[in-house]
Structure 1
């Protein structure tokens, strides 16, 4: 199964010279999580694409507040919407887990594993 990523249009991910662009490590993880869950059959790509376009449309309609275009924040929100809609996770679970992760100290992913 392959993920039919949009090359153009509102759901197209940021690219530079045809390559996907991630400004921060969490963005690539959010991208990979959505692709992996889709490939595992958790949801269809049209379901995800519809949720992503809805998030982008809502952000645009609100005047695009908060600085630069937050594509991967919208991507992650769309993934949350799809998973909550399918009953895979509840919205409350997503919020609780996101808050817990946000409170972790910077650099928690980069522990020295050599002993």
Structure 2
């Protein structure tokens, strides 16, 4: 089962010459997690698309203090939403884990190896 990614519309991922574009390693990881969990049957693709569209719509209607657009922040938020909604991961656990990861130094897991 392959995720039916939108080519156009609000849920369409960034592309360049038809290829997916990731600015940071975490973006490709978030993308891969969502696809893998969908393929494992954890949630349906329409559920994920609806969550992603809702996240984007909320940002468009009331940008937060971080008004910088980042598609994959919305993608990751939508993934968190469907996992919490479906009971796969408790919402408070997602929040706790996100805070823990956010406290790590920049580049923590992307350092140069000697």
After TM superposition, the score normalised by the length of structure 1 is 0.90
Greater mean deviation of Cα atoms: 40-49 or 58-67: 58-67
Gaps of 5+ in 1: none
SS in 1 for 2:97: helix
Deviation of 1:83 after TM superposition, in Å, equals 0.3
Which residue in 1 is equivalent to 2:92?
A: 92
- SS of the counterpart of 1:73? helix
Residue 15 (1) aligns with residue 15 (2): yes
Who is 2:40 aligned against?
40
2:109 is equivalent to residue 77 of structure 1 = no
**Contact 1:59–1:65 (CA under 8 A) maintained in structure 2:** no
How far is the alpha carbon of 1:106 from its aligned partner? 3.0
User: What does residue 53 of structure 1 align with?
Assistant: 53
**What residue number does 2:105 align with?**
105
Gaps of 5+ in 2: none
Give the total of aligned pairs. 114
RMSD: 1.8
> Runs of 4 or more off by more than 2 Å in structure 1?
63-68, 105-108, 110-114
What SS does structure 1 have at the residue aligned with 2:5? Answer: coil
| Partner SS state of residue 32, structure 2 | helix
